[in-house]
């Protein structure tokens, strides 16, 4: 059995051009159904994991960045397929990068303890069991 602190996971875009290897468990993990997350991802819910820079083993491949508010809150993605990558959230966990957990495509990835902006979800999305549902941040 691999020590959880040494376990490595690979986040990849769909074309495989941009790959991020992280080590250990994320510092924070949550789901969000806010409008911004929906528009940014194209999905009705995002689930993101924040990893301290010290746990980022490598980032390889070409990157494009969208950073309308400066590099402290940039979104980085694959310029070929538009997917994958990571983001920074400014004052929120500033020493971490956030990664959408779908890019790990790992069914065993830990479950988020809570989901933000739940009232904003699509009306047909059922409440998941064992996850706290929050009205705001």
Q: Under the rule (CB under 5 A), what is the footprint of Zn ion? A: 13, 15, 17, 32, 34, 37, 78, 80-81
The answer to whether residues 80 and 17 touch, using CB atoms and an 8 Å cutoff, is yes
Cβ closer to Zn ion: 22 or 34? Answer: 34
Q: List all residues 6 or more positions away from 74 whose beta carbon is below 8 Å from its beta carbon.
A: 65, 66, 67, 87, 88
Q: How far is the CB of 134 from Zn ion (least distance, A)?
A: 11
Q: How far is the CB of 67 from Zn ion (least distance, A)?
A: 17
Cβ closer to Zn ion: 4 or 15? Answer: 15
Q: How far is the CB of 5 from Zn ion (least distance, A)?
A: 29
Q: Is the dihedral of CA 20, 78, 42, 93 positive or negative?
A: positive
What is d(CA 104, CA 26) in angstroms, rounded to the nearest whole number? Answer: 13
Cβ closer to Zn ion: 2 or 127? Answer: 127
Cβ closer to Zn ion: 34 or 99? Answer: 34
115 secondary structure, DSSP code:
E
Q: How far is the CB of 2 from Zn ion (least distance, A)?
A: 28
The answer to whether residues 89 and 75 touch, using CB atoms and an 8 Å cutoff, is no
């Amino acid at each position: 059995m691999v020590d959880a602190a040494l376990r490595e996971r690979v986040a990849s875009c769909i074309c495989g051009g941009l790959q991020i290897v992280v080590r250990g468990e994320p510092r924070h993990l949550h789901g969000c159904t806010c409008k911004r997350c929906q528009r940014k991802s194209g999905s009705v819910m995002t689930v993101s994991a924040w990893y301290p820079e010290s746990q980022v083993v490598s980032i390889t491949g070409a990157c494009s960045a969208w950073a309308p508010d400066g590099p402290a809150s940039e979104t980085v993605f694959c310029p070929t397929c538009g997917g994958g990558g990571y983001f920074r959230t400014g004052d929120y966990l500033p020493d971490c990068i956030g990664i959408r957990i779908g890019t790990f495509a790992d069914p065993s990835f830990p479950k988020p303890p809570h989901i933000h902006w739940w009232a904003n979800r699509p009306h047909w999305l059922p409440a998941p069991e064992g996850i706290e549902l929050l009205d705001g941040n």
